[in-house]
Copies of this chain bind each other. A is one copy, B any other.
Amino acid sequence: MLLREAVGRVLRLARTSQSRTLRDVARDARVSLGYLSEVERGQKEASSELLNSICNALGLSLSILMSDVALEIKSTEGATLSVVDAA
């Protein structure tokens, strides 16, 4: 799994768990809706500055976000290992 894919998944989960729209969070973070959508889908690397803005808009600290990202990546690494083990 790529870092931007894990970041996107965690950001989307944080937003949807708050029942907020892309438009709402993008406005609060002062990024375009298209940018946020691409970041959430793992198609664009968020710059560190805009990642901080998005975290602020979601009321998340960057360290919590990155802890969740580490867990998200780890779950995929585990899945890959299982496939190797089963072969």
In the assembly, how many copies of this chain are there?
A: 2
Given A73-B62, A77-B61, A77-B62, does the pair A3, B67 have CB atoms closer than 8 Å?
no
| Tally of A interface residues using CB under 8 Å | 24
Whether the Cβ atoms of B48 and A48 lie closer than 8 Å is no
CA distance A64 to B51 in the complex (A): 20
Given A61-B77, A73-B62, does the pair A5, B45 have CB atoms closer than 8 Å?
no
Q: Which of A10-63 contact B (CB under 8 A)?
A: 45, 47-49, 51-52, 61-63
Q: What are the 3 closest A-B residue pairs judged by CB atoms, nearest first?
A: A63-B74, A2-B48, A66-B70
Which A residues are within 8 Å of any B CB, using their own CB? 1-6, 45, 47-49, 51-52, 61-64, 66-67, 69-71, 73-74, 77
